[in-house]
Structure 1
Amino acid sequence: MRVLGLSSGTSHDGIDAALVDFSLPPGGDTLRARLLHHATTPYEPALRAAILAALPPHKVGLGDVCALDTRLGHAFARAATSALDAAGPAELVCSHGQTLFHAATDGTLQLGQPAWIAERTGLPVVADVRVRDVAAGGQGAPLVPVLDLMLLAGREGRWGAVNLGGIANLTVAVPDETCAYDTGPGNALIDAAALAVTGEPYDRGGALAASGTVRTELLDRLLVEPYYARNPPKSTGKELFSAAYLDGAGGYQPADLLATLTELTAATVGAELRRHRLDHVLVSGGGVRNRTLLKRLAARAPGVTFVPSDEFGLPADAKEAVLFALIGWLTWHGLPGAVPSATGANGGRLLGAVTPGAAPLRLPAPLTTLPRRLELE
């Protein structure tokens, strides 16, 4: 079954698309996945500016939210048709949309009306994938453990996976110790500072941070953030780690500020890797291109071998889109797409709502058992 996954993360820079062909041999416990195509469609500057203007702590009216939902729906529809034109047909689309607000107990909101995708592609669309887990008592995040645990199943050693997106999240794939949660900022504060002090959306390769000095008094002040001391399950977002989080840090030289914020991400992620005594970590997300961040993370987690997800056949920039293709496949086959030990939900739940395509919905007979492994070809 060919499923197109669409995602835009907390960096709000564009839409990732991944077309994946899934096959499950009868009676088998290994789901095979062939990544046929992946691409990123950057947001147009005006749309990205509208997204940023709608994020906390900004105030926004319902009319603006409605208009943004429609504009994002069109953008996701264009990204979907572009992927399908490039790589051939699909049977299903799963769209995460763009998160505008995520605070679990107060709800979670992803925009990008799926009806526009269904209308333009003629395909059924699974969307709004987080809220059912929240309704079941969960955080609605992180969702990536369903992919990580299947991908790392059966491997020797103490494996984990870290995604260095706007927010960093960790999956611990050690039998009998499995858990997953957001560790704190990944690139969110680094990017916000880079934009503020250089006008560029990120610190390319970590070059500016590499030229600066970590200001320990600022780092120590940032490390007392209560979120870090909370026990999982837990999740966070730019509701907390927004540009406003850096108010009061304007007196530092740009290079020193970037060096300190890069160290903050390395310190908070590294502490969790040590906490779980991991020795192998699959790493993905935009942060893998920040050489300074990876260098500092390695220093904060000595003895850990970092393995780029590309070595597993999963390009770092495509992982989130592949995840949502997988969630779409699971929902279509009647299987839960979230891991309760990660989100804190009362149990596994089918994720998302389905918007019909051009034809009547014809779902297959539901499967009764979640595949144990995922093999990427």
Structure 2
Amino acid sequence: MRILGMISGTSHDGIDVALVDFDLRDGVLDGRVGYTTSTPYSPELRARLVEALPPAETTLAEVCVLDTLIGQSFAEAAATAIEQAGPVDLIVSHGQTVFHWVEGAHAHGTLQLGQPAWIAERTGAPVLSDVRIRDITAGGHGAPLVSVLDALLLAGHQGSAAALNLGGIANMTVVRGPDGLVAYDIGPANALVDAVVSSGKLSERGFDEDGAIAASGRVDQRLLDVLLDEPYYLLPAPKSTGKELFHLAYVEEAIARAGHRPGDADLVATLTELTVRAVARDVLASGVDLLVVSGGGCRNPVIMKGLRDALPGVTVALSDDYGAPADDKEAIAFALIGWCTAHGLPGTVPAGTGARASRILGTLTPGAGPLVLPAPIADPPRSLTLGR
């Protein structure tokens, strides 16, 4: 079954796309990753999106406009993928998260924009969307949904392993055998650095490319101590967070508490070190011997060196080594969720999200013809292999 997975993550910089051809044989799901790409949002759309995100106030009119513009952007990205790689049986669109409603230790709702009907109309293919909310209705956090991919991908590891995704937010899945999984959002990965770099116009690309700014600065220990004293880090897993908490105003408040403002490069270095410290602390506490890293943050040599230095007893590898290109892993994960839903299988791991039980995910929008799904499968796959 050929499935196109699509997502714009918490860095809200564009749309990641992965086309995966799945085939189940003897309990092993084989995924051939045939096409991947990333399509940036137009500068105008990204600026409009940033202006509407928390803690900014917005209007329902602006939400409606963004829902359409993002949906049209996803539709164009999907159409381009199909033109270049051939037809697909299903498209899975995560859309763009604009608000993740968490109070205390509980998630109450989540909102992703990008109207799927635009994608179905443009491509003629059925579209699965709204993939997070069903888990939340079952008491989960709706995140990190990538844990269903991590559980299958790391199933063959003999020791204890963890998969770390460094997007806007850092999330981790710890796998200790078939029944020993836990997953949760650790805290900010690139979110705070991106906010500072964008607002200060420190880079034309809006992020710290290759960690160059961080490498040119020095860590401000006083500010770092303030940032590490964040109550969210003490909450037990599973837990989830987002830019509702970790945004530019959050940095400004931390600077005020620290009592002084470091220079731009020192500020970026300090926020980068925050990611390293928060992640390394949780990885060490998990007791894993293998850490498989993906997401944009794994292309930052300052973060990766910091993690390797802080985790001397842990093998730190990229998800590329396991068949999942580090920049495309989340899109692949949503393609996998689509395969599960199409076959009547849950797309969540309760221990990974905190839900009462696993649930079949998403809402289906028909394409140009009748909605036809494969025959249901009784037993989920035991493991997953990915390759080109």
Distance 2:367 2:269 in 1: 48
Which of 148, 152, 155 in structure 1 is aligned with 2:154? 152
Q: After the TM superposition, which of the residue ranges 250-259 and 341-350 deviates more from structure 2?
A: 250-259
Spell out the pairing of 1:54-73 with structure 2 (5 A cutoff).
Answer: 54-73=52-71
8 Å contact from structure 2 (residues 187, 241) kept in 1? yes
Gaps of 5+ in 2: none
8 Å contact from structure 1 (residues 165, 286) kept in 2? yes
8 Å contact from structure 2 (residues 128, 362) kept in 1? yes
- 1:166 alignment counterpart: 168
Spell out the pairing of 1:250-289 with structure 2 (5 A cutoff).
Answer: 251-289=261-299
Give how far 1:204 is off: 1.1
Give how far 1:365 is off: 2.0
8 Å contact from structure 1 (residues 333, 364) kept in 2? yes
- 1:101 alignment counterpart: 99
Equivalent AA in structure 2 for residue 157 of structure 1:
G
Distance 1:51 1:301 in 2: 37
- 2:24 alignment counterpart: 24
- 1:202 alignment counterpart: 207
Distance 2:373 2:294 in 1: 33
Q: Secondary structure at the match of 1:120?
A: helix
Give how far 1:300 is off: 2.1
- 2:186 alignment counterpart: 183
Distance 1:365 1:91 in 2: 14
Equivalent AA in structure 2 for residue 177 of structure 1:
G
Give how far 1:368 is off: 1.3
Q: Deviations over 1:50-93 (max 9, x none)?
A: 11111100111101101110111100000000111111110100
Distance 2:312 2:281 in 1: 11
Distance 1:174 1:193 in 2: 37
Give how far 1:207 is off: 1.2
Distance 2:246 2:380 in 1: 35
Which of 320, 326, 329 in structure 2 is aligned with 1:319? 329
Give how far 1:366 is off: 1.2
8 Å contact from structure 1 (residues 271, 301) kept in 2? no
Q: Secondary structure at the match of 1:245?
A: helix
- Moved segments of 4+, more than 4 Å: none
Equivalent AA in structure 2 for residue 309 of structure 1:
S
Residue 231 of structure 1 pairs with residue 229 of structure 2: no
Distance 1:43 1:196 in 2: 18
Give how far 1:292 is off: 0.5
Equivalent AA in structure 1 for residue 45 of structure 2:
L
Which of 82, 98, 105 in structure 1 is aligned with 2:80? 82
8 Å contact from structure 1 (residues 4, 19) kept in 2? yes
Give how far 1:108 is off: 0.1
Which of 98, 118, 121 in structure 2 is aligned with 1:119? 121
- 1:46 alignment counterpart: 44
Q: After the TM superposition, which of the residue ranges 189-198 and 178-187 deviates more from structure 2?
A: 189-198
- 1:9 alignment counterpart: 9
Which of 340, 343, 354 in structure 2 is aligned with 1:344? 354
8 Å contact from structure 2 (residues 323, 385) kept in 1? no
Q: Secondary structure at the match of 2:122?
A: helix
Give how far 1:103 is off: 2.0
8 Å contact from structure 2 (residues 21, 32) kept in 1? yes
Q: Secondary structure at the match of 1:58?
A: coil
Equivalent AA in structure 2 for residue 180 of structure 1:
A
Q: Secondary structure at the match of 1:303?
A: coil
Q: Secondary structure at the match of 2:134?
A: helix
Which of 297, 303, 314 in structure 2 is aligned with 1:304? 314
8 Å contact from structure 1 (residues 162, 169) kept in 2? yes
Give how far 1:215 is off: 0.8
Distance 1:109 1:332 in 2: 23
TM-score by length of 2: 0.95
Q: Deviations over 1:191-250 (max 9, x none)?
A: 111223344211111111112111111000011100000001100000000111111437
Give how far 1:342 is off: 1.1
Residue 240 of structure 1 pairs with residue 242 of structure 2: no
Q: After the TM superposition, which of the residue ranges 298-307 and 244-253 deviates more from structure 2?
A: 244-253
Distance 1:106 1:143 in 2: 16
Distance 1:86 1:52 in 2: 31
Gaps of 5+ in 1: none
Distance 2:334 2:293 in 1: 18
Equivalent AA in structure 2 for residue 120 of structure 1:
R
Equivalent AA in structure 2 for residue 186 of structure 1:
A
Which of 123, 127, 133 in structure 2 is aligned with 1:131? 133
8 Å contact from structure 1 (residues 21, 35) kept in 2? yes
Aligned length: 375
Equivalent AA in structure 1 for residue 329 of structure 2:
K
Give how far 1:353 is off: 0.3
Equivalent AA in structure 2 for residue 273 of structure 1:
V
8 Å contact from structure 2 (residues 211, 301) kept in 1? yes
Equivalent AA in structure 1 for residue 227 of structure 2:
L
